[in-house]
Structure 1
């Protein structure tokens, strides 16, 4: 299935117009309409950037080997 993406602005209530689309008359197409979400200026896009982190023992297993069902 060929894909065509366009960003348009709704001019009239409930109407959407696409111009110069690369499809032929009579060709069936599937249409999905999504709102374009803009990131508000006051919203931090990377909330964890700069936050402190540490690994006490990064090579230690998350659970003890005795608790592994695969080893039984």
Structure 2
């Protein structure tokens, strides 16, 4: 199916990854592996990715905001 869609210029990679991340956030890894047919180690990585702790990212963003010069540009 992916190959057929790609031939018509429709990329499904981003949608596939988003769907897997959503499933991984809601399902335990053994269920995700059985449901999708992926290897259990791959399912474990997806679940870890989906439930990742964002504290380090938020701290880095806060550091960036403190270090950025005040230009009036709000991102």
TM value normalised by structure 1:
0.30
Greater helix fraction, Structure 1 or Structure 2 = 2
Decide which structure has the larger Cα Rg and report it: 1
TM value normalised by structure 2:
0.29
